[in-house]
Each structure stands twice: as structure tokens, then as C-alpha cells.
Amino acid sequence: MDPIRCTCGKVIAQLFPKYRKLLEQGYTKKEILRVLNIKKNCCKIKILCNVNIIDEIIKFDKEKLIKETLEISNKYQNIDTDELYKRYTNRIKTKAKRVYTLS
């Protein structure tokens, strides 16, 4: 996900598609910043240091990831992974219920 605003308050969301297009065309980062008329250092940092990892995060199946984590953490114990998964999800549900009842 691209940031909508810089820390200075300037809206920079519309610059990301243009930035990526110019980058693919072979422009250097310095030239792109000049073409996009980005003057402030804070805006330059937001544009240049943005890492779009949402595509990598979406690849993971949440339930599978939880089960794999439980398997690894309990590798040397004699506990059924499905039972641990049920305990874990029940604990999350009860915490969520407490939060909703307090609000």
C-alpha cells in the first residue's frame, strides 16, 4: 500500500503510479524526482523508501501459518497441533469478546 500523505501533509498518493512508470522506462531516481517536481526531503524519502509488501502478505493463508507456527513451537512436545489451534483461536475469540463488551 502506498502512503496517501507525506509527514509534511502533502498528498503524494498520485505520484506513485507515475514514479513506477518512469522507473520502468529507465529513468534514474534523481531524474524522476525532478520530473515529478518533488522538492522536500521528507517527500523524497517517502517516495524512494516505500516498499510495497501487500502482495507478499496476501500469499499467506492465515490458518495454515498459525498451524505451522504451532507445529514448530511444539516440535518437541507431545501435543496435537489441531488441539493447540483450537485453544489458540478460542483464546483470541474470548479476548475479542472482552474488548467488545468493555466498549
Mean pLDDT of 65-90: 67
Phi/psi at 52 (5° precision):
-95, 95
- Give the pTM: 0.52
Per-residue pLDDT tens over the stretch 47-66:
988 877 766 666 666 677 77
- Map out the domains of the chain as residue ranges: 15-56, 60-102
Per-residue pLDDT tens over the stretch 4-52:
889 899 999 999 999 989 999 999 999 999 999 999 999 999 998 887 7
Mean pLDDT of 89-96: 68
Phi/psi at 5 (5° precision):
-125, 155
CA distance linking residue 47 with residue 34, whole number of Å:
13
Does 71 or 47 have the greater pLDDT score?
47
Q: How confident is the model at residue 103 (pLDDT cuts 50, 70, 90)?
A: very low
**Nearest residue to 29 via CA among 12, 47, 5, 15:** 47
